[in-house]
Amino acid sequence: MTTRFRVLALSLIITLVFALTTPCQQPAAAAGPGAKAEQAKSLLEQGKGAKALTVVDAGLKADPWNPDLGYFKVKALLKLGRFMDAARTALQMAAKNPTHLEFRYLAGESAYQMGMIPQAVKNWSVLFQDRDWSEPACRRAVLALKATGKEQQALKLLKETVARWDNPPVGLLRLDLNLTTEVAEGIKLSDRLIKADPSNKGEYDALKDIFKAAGSGSLFEEAPIKSLPVTIPIKEKSEYKDLSSLTWGSMDIGTDRVATTTQVVVPCSIDGSSDMPVLLDSGSDTMLVSPEWVKKLGLKPVATTEYVGLGVRGPQKSNWVLLKKVEIGPVTIKNVPAMVISENEDFFKRVGGILPLSILRHHALLYDRRHSKLVLYPSGTSPASVLGKGTYVVKSLWPYNKPFVQVSINGHHGLYCLVDTGAFATHLSLNKMEALDIKPNSGRYSSATGSGLSGSYSAPIASNVEMILGRTRFNMHTVLLANLGEGYGIDCYGLLGRRDVLDLLNMFFDYKANVIAFVPYDR
C-alpha cells in the first residue's frame, strides 16, 4: 500500500507534496456551458490562456453575466497571472450569480495568489457550511493561514469547521490527519478515516503505522534550547555520479564518474549515531535518508510510500522510517518520519540524505553560505539587526512550510518563486512561459540534459531573462526551464537556485513572522 506523500524532484531539488492540491471545480451546469465555454475549457486544458480569454470575452459581449463563460474567464486570467483582474471578475460574477458559489471560491484564490490572505480567507469562509464547498474552501483557508506562519489559527479554523458536521467530508478529515502531530490524535483520525473512506484503508493504515511507531507524545517534538542565538556550521560537498559511456561497435569503453554540483550540508546525528552530512534544503518539507544510512542505523520500515521526480523512470517505490532522535547542532527533535531514497539513485552516496530547512521553522534563521554558518535566532528578531546595512524584506508566503518570495520576471510583477537552497541553478516553470511572454529555445541555445530523481531529463532554455528580487536585479543570459508540476499550494513561476541567485545573497528566514530578507554579498 502507498501513502499520499509524493516527491517532485528537479536535479538536486527535493520537494515533498502532500496530496492537498486544489480540486478543479467545474461551474454549476444550470443552463449548460455554451459552445464558447466548451471551446475555452479545451483551450485552457491545452495551456492556451490568452486564446481562451479571447473566446470568453467574445461570448460575454452577448451575455455579460453568463456563469459558465465567467468561470472560464476567471480561470484564464489566473492562468495568465492577472490576479487582480481575476479577483474583480470573480466578485462581479458572484454578485450577479449568488447561487454559483464557485465565484466566491475563485475570488479567494485570486486574492491568495496576490498574498492578500485576510481577503482570501474571508471569501472562502462564506463556503464553510456548504457540503460541496466546505472541504476545498476550508483546505485553502487553512493553507493560507499556515502560509503566513499562523499555524495555531489554521488548526483552530480546521477543528471548528470539522465540528460543524455530524459526518464531516472525508477531505476535511484527511486534512486534519495530515496536519496532526499528536500521536494519539493521529491514530484516532486514522481509524475514523478507515471507517469513513474504506476504499483508501491501506493509505490510512500506513499513516497510522507511522504514528504508532512513535509510541507516545508527538511527531517533530523539539527539545527547548537554553539560549539563542546558536551557530551550526555548514559546508559544501560534492557527490559522484556514474555515467555509462557510449558503446562503439563491439567495444565498451566502460563507465565514467563525474562530480555533481556542490551541495550545502550540515552535520546531523540520527538516533545517537556519529555526525553525517545531510543536504540542507529549503525546497523540501520532509526528511530523506539514503539506503546506506538506513542500513548503518538499522532502521526498519514502518510504512510504504512512493516519490516521483523529474526524469523518465516515473514514480519510485520507497519506505517510511521513523527517526527517534535527530540532532542538528544544539537542536534535538524526536520522532521524525523520513523517506528512504531508492537504491537506484546516484545521489546521496556520500551525503546521508536531506534535512528540510522547515524542520527549524520555529526559529528565525540566518543562512550565510559564504561564511559557512547557519545561525538560529528567536522568531521576531529584526532581519536588519542580523544582516546589517542594505537589508531588504521581500513579500513572502510559506505554503507547506516552503519559502516563496515575490519576484518580477521580464516586467511581470508579483510572481511567486520558491527559494530552493537544494537547487543548483534557477529554473522557470515551463507551463508559465505564455504568461511571461517567453519562448523556450528561442535564442541560439538548445535544450540541456540533466538528471533527476527519476532519471535523466531534457530542459529547454530561455535566453536573456531579467529577474528582480527586492532591490537586486539579475540579468540572466540563460535560464533552464522545467515542468515543475503542481501541488505547491501557490502558482509557482520558478525555483530560485544557488548558482545564479542564492549564492549571491545572504538570507534570513522567519516563518512564524512571515519574513524573508536578503542582503547582497560584497562582490
pLDDT at 471: 95
Is 288 a domain residue?
A: yes
End position of a domain, from candidates 307, 329, 359: 359
**Residues 378, 491: one domain?**
yes
pLDDT tens for each residue of 314-358: 666 778 999 999 999 999 999 999 999 876 555 566 788 899 999
**Residues 354, 461: one domain?**
no
Is 196 a domain residue?
A: no
Q: Among candidates 423, 420, 489, which has minimal Cα distance to 453?
A: 423
* 156 contacts 130 by C-beta, under 8 angstroms: no
pLDDT tens for each residue of 211-253: 999 998 999 999 999 899 999 999 876 554 444 433 333 444 4
Q: Among candidates 314, 241, 313, 318, which has minimal Cα distance to 287?
A: 318
Is 163 a domain residue?
A: no
**Residues 354, 393: one domain?**
no
Is 47 a domain residue?
A: no
Which carries the bigger pLDDT value, residue 200 or residue 13? 200
Is 93 a domain residue?
A: no
pLDDT at 29: 40
Domain count, the chain: 2
pLDDT tens for each residue of 263-285: 889 999 999 998 899 999 999 88
pLDDT at 445: 59
pLDDT at 444: 62
Is 489 a domain residue?
A: yes
- The parent domain of residue 273 ranges over 230-292+321-359
**Residues 506, 386: one domain?**
yes
**Residues 393, 268: one domain?**
no
**Residues 456, 351: one domain?**
no
pLDDT tens for each residue of 2-41: 333 333 333 333 222 222 333 444 444 433 448 999 999 9
The CATH code of the domain that includes 408 is: 2.40.70.10
pLDDT tens for each residue of 93-107: 999 999 999 999 999
* 276 contacts 293 by C-beta, under 8 angstroms: yes
CA 107/CA 124 separation, integer angstroms:
8
Total residue count of the chain as it appears in this document: 523
Which carries the bigger pLDDT value, residue 142 or residue 446? 142
pLDDT tens for each residue of 419-441: 999 888 899 998 899 889 888 87
**Residues 435, 477: one domain?**
yes
pLDDT at 173: 94
Residue type, 84: M
**Residues 332, 409: one domain?**
no
Is 43 a domain residue?
A: no
End position of a domain, from candidates 334, 359, 384: 359
Q: What is the pTM of this model?
A: 0.85
**Residues 262, 348: one domain?**
yes
Alpha helix locations (H) across 285-352? Answer: 291-297
Residue found by looking up cell 481509524 in the block: 191
Q: What does the DSSP 8-state code read for residue 12?
A: T
pLDDT at 11: 32
pLDDT mean across residues, the chain: 84
Is 42 a domain residue?
A: no
**Residues 384, 508: one domain?**
yes
**Residues 437, 351: one domain?**
no
> What percent of the chain clears pLDDT 90, i.e. is strictly above it?
62
End position of a domain, from candidates 359, 387, 405: 359
**pLDDT bracket for residue 119 (50, 70, 90):** very high
**Residues 444, 404: one domain?**
yes
